[in-house]
Amino acid sequence: MKKSISIIVFLSILAALAVTFIKPSDLIRETEKPSEVIQEVNLQLDPASAIVPIEKLENGCEEKDCIKSIDQPQFESIDETSNWLSDSDKVFVLSRNGESKIYPERIISWHEVVNDVISSEPIAVTFSPLSGSAIAFERKVDGITTTFGVSGKLFNSNLILYDRYEGDLWQQFTGQGITGPAAKRGEVLNQLKLVPLSWTKAQEFFPDSVVLSRKTGFEIDYTKSPYDSYEDSADPYFETTPLDNRLHPKARVYGIVVDGVAKAYPEQDLISVEQKGDVVGDKNIEITNENGVLTFRLAESGEELPGLKSFWFAWAAFHPDTLL
């Protein structure tokens, strides 16, 4: 009997030791995980990992980085920028923890991605000229800081990013990983508030900002646009989900999603509105317009909702059941 008890005790000790040994090794592997990876990668194009049919991805240009991202941005003062931007020029403002940066559309439309840091946070400011959508994200994939580039591919005439950690493809409009390990993880990039304004209003409301400089390392005339007549035409350049004819395809809208319910608001209807209440799904929301800076919030909690400005065709393509 004593021998049997000894064996049981011995086995219990072994089991306890096994648990003890497993846990520290897991912790060691976790601490060895790098905090930043920026490397040359191949695009993840295995159909088995894709949540969008690979054959539906169109080539906007022939290869990744055919449009060069800005990876070492330089900045200048508002006074230094005023000699070449006009009052009505479009810019995008990112403000975090007391620091503000302004990204002129005239520059970012040539590059589509600016890998940057604001208030010690690694961020990517992205702009898809074809869908009219400017969105800022944290530069983190699976918890690893990295950078993003232009994949050369499009879906619904919208920019598809790739990361320089795994080579996953990311839909700019939704921030969703659509191929590779990121798609298998169901990963979505964390979006930051990026405010679209005219140059005049940006100077007025964010006077202490610095502005992305034309000193990008590329020989480009930033006074010209690579998409001069695009906004004046009715149709997208590339194939999209069938067009929703409730608005002109290039009408500019602000879109929000509340508990899976999408709704779009024509920009022209919000220009003169200071405050507006609405119901999306079963949630009351409040829309405020402070001198052109639009904010969407849940009425009950005050939680801010990401509002995305884009062309109507793009919003409707990614949200085919959208309310209007």
Neighbour-count burial of 39, counting CB atoms closer than 10 A to its CB (0-12 exposed, 13-18 middle, 19+ buried): exposed
Is 50 exceeded by the pLDDT of residue 3?
no
Determine the 3-state secondary structure of 268 from DSSP.
helix
DSSP string, 79-101: HHHTTT--TT-EEEEEEETTEEE
Scan for tokens 């052109």, then name that residue.
Answer: 292
The token pair that represents 14 in the structure block = 């072994």
Beta bridge partners, 125, equal: 114, 136
Confidence tier at 272 by pLDDT (50, 70, 90)? confident
Segment 149-175, tens digit of pLDDT: 999 999 999 999 999 999 999 999 999
DSSP structure class, residue 70: B
pTM of the model: 0.88
Q: Mean per-residue pLDDT for 278-293?
A: 92
- The Cα 164–Cα 78 span in angstroms is 32
- The Cα 257–Cα 198 span in angstroms is 25
Q: Which amino acid is at 308?
A: L
Scan for tokens 């009505």, then name that residue.
Answer: 88
Residue 241, CB-side half-sphere exposure with 13 Å CA sphere:
15
Is 90 exceeded by the pLDDT of residue 15?
no
Is 60 exceeded by the pLDDT of residue 295?
yes
The C-alpha R_g of the chain, in whole angstroms, comes to 24
Phi-psi region at 234: left, alpha or beta (left = phi > 0; alpha = psi -120 to 50): alpha
Segment 129-151, tens digit of pLDDT: 999 999 999 999 999 999 999 99
